[in-house]
Structure 1
Amino acid sequence: MTVVDIARKDVADAVRSRALWVATAIFLGFILLAQGIVLAVVENPDPELAARFLEGPATEVVLPILGLLVGYQAIVGERETGNMKFLLGLPHSRLDVLLGKFVGRTAVLSVAVLGGFLAAIGMIAATIGLPPLAPIAAYVLFVVLSVAAIVSIAVGISAVAETRTRAISVAIGGYLLATVLWSYVVDGLYYAVTRSLPGTDPPTWLAIVDHLNPLTAMSTSADVFLPEASQIAITATEEGVSATQTEQTPSGTAETLVHEPLFLVAVLVFWIALPLAVGYLRFRDADLS
């Protein structure tokens, strides 16, 4: 039960330090802002369209940053303060500490995410009608799994790094790679194989490589799990700018492997397991003196 004990302590520390409340407030603010824009700008929006806006900056930009911030100090912070020797002096192994930190910090961020989604769904239901709950539930569960993957990466970095400065530097570098540079990496790999740049219809193997990025997998999951939504037509006139929904259109999910739910889940499971394994192997042999 030592993993559970460490996770429980981590959650309690987050509550006392207000980290849980800050993370919840940030995610809640961004996801409600997206819903507020839909309700304020679009004329007579339907619940399906509002549900599509559960995907947006809150999940694709803010959530990864929160995950890295929540997890990057998990191990290295305890080492720098000297608390790690105290933890290991109790009946805890280094694996217990690593897994307990991962579980605790995943739980903290998951509570923030669930709170934000519940508030957004409540806002939709109270204003324009109840959205389809089954696909939303599947999407929310996938986002929670994404939270676990992001926190695992952060905790793995924390276990490998020797100082907080190095940990945050690697975390920032990884975030920039996943969000800004990843498309160049994928294009570069395609060029190395084919001596040309990918066109409008890239091969399946390139799409698979692209979706090895967990943030890409999370972005695609909205097309897979959330309901199809109508497009928004924006019109500018002398009286101002208005937005209306046009006819229903498919969300764009192609019949390829990267749009299979099991594939997307497998990508996230891989990113949960790999950083924890690498982090443990490094942390297991680390000199804490």
Structure 2
Amino acid sequence: MSWMAVAEKDFRDAIRSRLLVVLTVLFAVFAAGAAYVVSEIDPPQQAALTGEVTTGLLIAGLVSATAVFIPIVAIAASYRSLAGERDSGSLKLLLSLPNSRRDIVAGKFVGRSAVVGVALLVGFAVGLVVTAVLADAFSVLEYLVFVAVSLLFALVFVAITVGVSAFTASTSRAAYGAFGLFVVFQFLWGVLVQGLAYALNGFSFPEGGEQFPEWIQNLANFLFIVDPTTAYQQGTLWVVRLLDDSQEAQETMAELPFYAQDWFGFVIMVVWIAVPLAVGYLRFDAADL
């Protein structure tokens, strides 16, 4: 066997367990509901002012919702990928076949990515229909690019979760670890960065409307972007602005440091795919199974 065979088996197992069906239905309902809410109930501020809901504005409104729901789908699909095999004892069977531990980690990542990818593609297809009906000026290209960036973001959390699952021998610890990281990124990251800036400034905040010293502010700005959720949102907005040919936005971005420009979000997402998988593999490779 090889990593491809491991991935194929993992995907078939997901179909048999109905995990793929459940995730697909959940994301389809989410995508349709989110598109309706953003376009009809709570449109972006600019759309409310102009009275026109374009695809770009709809995506700008959707990205906050997908930034929360996509990681949940990826974690639910992936946390048992390796820890579950160790719990059940089936990992020993995989290792008894001509598989290296690298093959198993890579195959699990590809297999779970395929499960999440299918669920998202079907869900986004449903969202495409709703968006096409509700948007006043619909662009298929903008929507498809948004889907592509969202799939990349999904790979980030599949990689993080598979890495955590490879790192631990317990399914429950894998779940707690992956969801714990999700909570940190989603709700606590900004607070932690502000706390670090506060500590580096001698445990005090600037007074009288002043800012932190430049080096602290630059470090904080960089750390804000290291969060994969922020990277996804920035990368999505950069692509939308690029397709809309927003010259003013591009000129404004060009004045910022490279790490503060929206395109840098793609670099951050790629790093978040590679590093957790590498760390998880190294731990898994050294583990006494």
Give the TM-score category using the shorter length. 0.7 to 0.9
Q: Does 2:172 align with 1:165?
A: yes
In the aligned structure 1, how far is the partner of 2:90 from the partner of 2:170? 14
Q: Distance in 1 between matches of 2:78 and 2:141?
A: 30
1:180 aligns with 2:181: no
- 2: CA distance, partners of 1:266 / 1:85: 36
Structure 2 CA distance for partners of 1:179 and 1:40, relative to 1, 3 Å: closer
> Which residue is 1:275 aligned to?
276
Residue range with higher mean Cα deviation, 46-55 or 98-107: 46-55
Q: Percent identity at matched positions?
A: 35
2:245 maps to none
Of residues 62, 65, 75, the one that matches 1:54 is 62
CA RMSD of aligned residues (A): 2.7
Deviating more after overlay: 151-160 vs 162-171: 162-171
Post-superposition shift, 1:25?
1.5
CA distance in 1, matches of 2:273, 2:210: 32
The TM-score, its normalising length taken from structure 2, stands at 0.82
In structure 1, which of residues 105, 124, 127 is the aligned counterpart of residue 131 of structure 2?
124
Corresponding letter in the other structure for 2:177: V
Which letter does structure 1 place at the counterpart of 2:61? F
In the alignment, residue 121 of structure 1 is paired with which amino acid? L
Contact 1:156 1:276 in 2 (8 A): yes
Equivalent residues, number? 267
Residue aligned with 1:92, SS: coil
Q: Equivalences for 1:1-289 in 2 at 5 Å? A: 2-41=2-41, 45-48=52-55, 49-57=57-65, 59-128=66-135, 131-195=138-202, 196-197=204-205, 203-227=217-241, 254-255=253-254, 256=256, 257-258=258-259, 260=261, 262-288=263-289
**Aligned twin of 1:243:** none
User: Which one is further off, 219-228 or 153-162?
Assistant: 219-228
Q: CA deviation at 1:97?
A: 0.4
How far apart, in 2, do the equivalents of 1:72 and 1:12 lie? 17
Give the strand-richer structure, 1 or 2: 1
Contact 1:77 1:164 in 2 (8 A): yes
Distance of aligned partners of 1:38 and 1:2 in 2 relative to their CA distance in 1, 3 Å threshold? same
Give, in angstroms, the shift of residue 210 of structure 1. Answer: 0.8
Which residue of 2 is the match for residue 244 of structure 1? none
Maintained 8 Å contact 1:34/1:56: no
Structure 1, gaps ≥5 residues long: 229-248
Superimposed CA distance per residue, residues 74-122 of structure 1 (whole angstroms, 9 cap, x where no aligned partner): 1111111111111111111111000000011011111111222222122
Displacement of 1:124 after TM fit? 2.1
